[in-house]
């Protein structure tokens, strides 16, 4: 059971048409990514049963929630899911505690309150329990909404742009909590967003949607570096590497992190040795040299292999590289690509000018 | 001072109004819920029918009811078939007429309250395992509380104050159909202004107190539009 989530939907909605056929992993965060109108929220609502696709088959962990051919359609309230809306959508007549208890009162009493305690602590809302939703900030409301969905011990967590209605400051208030969910949750999460930043920070699996269809789907690193997907062409194109803190060079305000096939120097990170990190490398921060540069100010120079090239017809070439097992993208000028004579399977050196830490 | 006959009419009035209000809530709540959420082609027609008593002269409504509930009318034939006789000039007839006359005052505030709540809280409740009926009682009713209060009070007070329909359908029979508004009319007809003053005063104070209480309570209620 490597793909316990099977999603097949067809929905005609006026001019809009949703046609999706997906198999998704049963753990980690799967991000549904696309522009507004691409159908990502509709897809999520169909999975929740809030919207009914005329034709559809939906299976989660071996349980069939919808099968239009056999006339099966489980109503939303019978689906063991958690749903976080774009606006927190808390019940205004209930306190935070009342909101958290709402679902718990309606499921069999097997899930213990210790779970709720843990969730409340995880999301840092213990001090808010007695308040009414009107007395909370937007970020606090959204944290309560996430806790309310998790309190039910759902088999899957569905999140519809949970950060979209928040300002940048509130977003940064919640993102760490979401990253923590990532490491604490055993259940799969489907997360809808149009923000590349959230993709880079949260996604394990990425589903790219366009005009009601799935354009591409797969593991994040693979999706980010695929040249046939517009993500790689984007100005903010980047790849995310998983790395671990190995040592701090406090004299230089630097931190060494290691990944499967090498090491990187980063600006000092406030994290203990051994902490796992997501390191984001923008394609525009990567340059290419044919020989190992001997005198350069750039600390991070790694041997790499060119695995693909794509021209954007605007003077820029997107180069896909492989550093060991890690994919990496570089945006260079078309002229440089021609002068260096880059081609697939060519051994080169990449210089990484800047990095950012995502968690 | 109020005479014992006055007290009887007051008692009868409150009885009619209480029973009518209870019936209107039972009938009006599902009707308002349907009207607030349906996209059916019938919506416009039903809306218009429900609102008709607002614009129709009470005597017109009363006249039609009298005819329909009479022995030759549709309703009259039905009630005769049921073996309960005809409804005009009975307490039951008065209640039926009151319900039809006052129901827009119940349906419209409820419909507005339900529409304000919108789809979102219902969806949230569904994702939290609440069935539609459960959601109605645990989410819709608390959020629509101001609408319910308004509906109950307007329905009740409007029934207390009706005159034209009562006179047409109920007549002026002591202890059966003679309500306060008719009694005041009787007093005035008899040039008995002091008794009329007393009764009218009681109604005035009652109505004002009820409305004042309503608006005070409404001010402190959370409403659906505060939903975040």
Q: Give tens-digit pLDDT for A255-265.
A: 999 988 889 99
Tell me: pLDDT of A314 over 90: no
Distances (CA, A) of B90 to B51, B58, B73, B147, B175: 25, 18, 16, 32, 10
B82-93 confidence digits (pLDDT tens): 988 888 999 999
Q: Classify residue B112: in a domain, yes or no.
A: yes
Q: Classify residue B228: in a domain, yes or no.
A: no
Q: Classify residue B226: in a domain, yes or no.
A: no
A23-68 confidence digits (pLDDT tens): 999 989 999 999 888 999 999 999 999 999 989 999 998 899 999 9
Tens of pLDDT, residue by residue, chain B (228 residues): 788 889 999 999 999 999 999 999 999 999 999 999 999 999 999 999 999 999 999 999 999 999 999 999 999 999 999 988 888 999 999 999 999 999 999 999 999 999 999 999 999 999 999 999 999 999 999 999 999 999 999 999 999 988 889 889 988 888 888 999 999 999 999 999 999 999 999 999 998 998 898 888 888 765 544 443
Q: Do A106 and B222 touch (CB under 8 A)?
A: no
Domain that holds residue B163: 4-38+48-219
Considering chain B, what is the average pLDDT of its residues?
91
Q: Classify residue B132: in a domain, yes or no.
A: yes
Considering chain A, what is the average pLDDT of its residues?
89
Q: Classify residue B91: in a domain, yes or no.
A: yes
Please answer whether residues B84 and B90 qualify as being in contact, where contact means their C-beta atoms are separated by less than 8 angstroms.
no
Tell me which residue in A76, A134, A152 faces B126 most closely, judged by beta carbons. A76
Tell me: pLDDT of A230 over 80: no
Asked if B23 is an interface residue toward chain A (Cβ–Cβ < 8 A), one would say no
Asked if A302 is an interface residue toward chain B (Cβ–Cβ < 8 A), one would say no
Residues of A in contact with B138 (CB under 8 A): 102
Class of residue B44 by CB neighbours under 10 A (exposed 0-12, middle 13-18, buried 19+): exposed
Mean pLDDT of A222-238: 83
- Nearest CA to A330 among A261, A281, A284? A284
B144-186 confidence digits (pLDDT tens): 999 999 999 999 999 998 888 988 998 888 888 899 999 999 9
Mean pLDDT of A260-280: 88
Asked if B140 is an interface residue toward chain A (Cβ–Cβ < 8 A), one would say no
pLDDT value at residue B99? 95
> pLDDT band at A114, cuts 50/70/90?
low
pLDDT value at residue A113? 57
Domain count, chain B: 1
Domains of chain A: 5-233 (3.40.50.300), 238-357 (2.40.50.100)
Residues of A in contact with B228 (CB under 8 A): 87-90, 92, 133-134, 138, 141
Q: Classify residue B120: in a domain, yes or no.
A: yes
Q: Do B131 and A77 touch (CB under 8 A)?
A: yes
Q: Do B123 and A89 touch (CB under 8 A)?
A: yes
Give the residue ranges of DSSP H helices in A190-265: 196-202, 220-224
Query: Residue B22 sits in a domain of what CATH number?
Result: 1.10.3720.10
Q: Classify residue B224: in a domain, yes or no.
A: no
Residues of A in contact with B129 (CB under 8 A): 77-78, 103, 106-107, 152
Q: Do A103 and B129 touch (CB under 8 A)?
A: yes
Question: What is the DSSP secondary structure assignment for residue A225, as one 8-state letter?
Answer: T
pLDDT value at residue A156? 94
Tell me: pLDDT of A95 over 90: yes
> pLDDT band at A166, cuts 50/70/90?
confident
What is the interface pTM, i.e. ipTM, of the complex?
A: 0.83
Specify the 3-state DSSP secondary structure of A267.
strand
Q: Classify residue B124: in a domain, yes or no.
A: yes
């Amino acid at each position: 059971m490597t793909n316990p989530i099977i999603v097949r939907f067809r929905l005609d909605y006026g001019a809009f048409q949703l046609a999706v056929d997906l198999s998704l992993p049963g753990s980690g965060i799967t991000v549904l990514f696309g522009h507004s109108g691409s159908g990502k929220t509709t897809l999520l609502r169909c999975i929740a049963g809030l919207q009914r696709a005329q034709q559809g088959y939906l299976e989660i962990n071996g349980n069939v929630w919808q099968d239009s051919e056999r006339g099966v359609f489980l109503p939303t309230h019978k689906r063991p899911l958690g749903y976080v809306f774009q606006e927190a959508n808390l019940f205004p007549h209930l306190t935070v505690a009342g909101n958290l208890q709402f679902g718990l009162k309606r499921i069999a009493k097997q899930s213990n309150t210790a779970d709720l305690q843990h969730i409340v602590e995880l999301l840092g809302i213990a001090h808010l329990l007695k308040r009414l939703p009107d007395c909370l900030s937007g970020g606090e409301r959204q944290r309560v909404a996430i806790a309310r969905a998790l309190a039910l011990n759902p088999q899957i967590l569905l999140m519809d742009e949970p950060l979209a209605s928040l300002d940048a400051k509130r977003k940064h208030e919640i993102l760490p909590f979401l990253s923590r969910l990532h490491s604490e949750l055993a259940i799969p999460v489907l997360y809808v967003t149009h923000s590349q930043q959230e993709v880079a920070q949260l996604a394990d699996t990425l589903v790219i949607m366009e005009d009601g269809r799935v354009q591409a789907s797969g593991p994040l690193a693979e999706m980010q570096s695929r040249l046939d997907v517009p993500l790689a062409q984007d100005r903010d194109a980047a790849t995310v590497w998983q790395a671990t803190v190995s040592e701090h060079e406090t004299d230089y305000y630097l931190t060494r992190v290691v990944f499967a096939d090498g090491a990187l120097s980063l600006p000092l990170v406030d994290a203990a040795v051994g902490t796992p990190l997501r390191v984001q490398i923008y394609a525009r921060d990567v340059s290419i040299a044919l020989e190992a540069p001997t005198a350069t100010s750039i600390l991070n120079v790694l041997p790499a292999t060119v695995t693909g090239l794509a021209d954007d017809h605007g003077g820029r070439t997107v180069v896909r590289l492989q550093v060991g097992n890690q994919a990496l993208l570089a945006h260079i000028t078309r002229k440089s690509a021609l002068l260096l004579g880059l081609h697939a399977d060519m051994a080169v050196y990449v210089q990484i000018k800047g990095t950012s830490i995502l968690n | 001072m109020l005479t014992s006959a006055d007290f009887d009419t007051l008692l009868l009035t409150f009885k009619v109004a209480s029973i009518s209000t209870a019936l209107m809530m039972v009938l009006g709540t599902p009707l308002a819920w349907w009207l607030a959420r349906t996209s059916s082609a019938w919506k416009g027609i039903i809306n218009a029918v429900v609102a008709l008593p607002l614009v129709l002269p009470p005597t017109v409504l009363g006249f039609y009811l009298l005819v329909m509930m009479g022995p030759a009318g549709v309703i009259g034939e039905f009630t005769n078939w049921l073996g309960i006789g005809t409804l005009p000039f009975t307490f039951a007839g008065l209640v039926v007429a009151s319900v039809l006359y006052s129901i827009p005052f119940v349906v419209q505030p409820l419909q507005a309250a339900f529409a304000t709540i919108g789809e979102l809280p219902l969806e949230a409740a569904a994702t939290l395992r609440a069935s539609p009926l459960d959601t109605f009682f645990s989410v819709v009713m608390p959020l629509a509380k101001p609408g319910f209060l308004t509906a109950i009070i307007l329905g009740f007070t409007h029934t207390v104050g009706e005159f034209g329909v009562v006179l047409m359908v109920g007549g002026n029979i002591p202890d059966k159909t003679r309500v306060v508004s008719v009694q005041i009319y009787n007093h005035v007809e008899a040039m008995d202004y002091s008794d009329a003053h007393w009764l009218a005063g009681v109604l005035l104070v009652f109505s004002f107190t009820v409305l004042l209480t309503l608006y005070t309570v409404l001010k402190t209620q959370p409403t659906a539009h505060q939903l975040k």
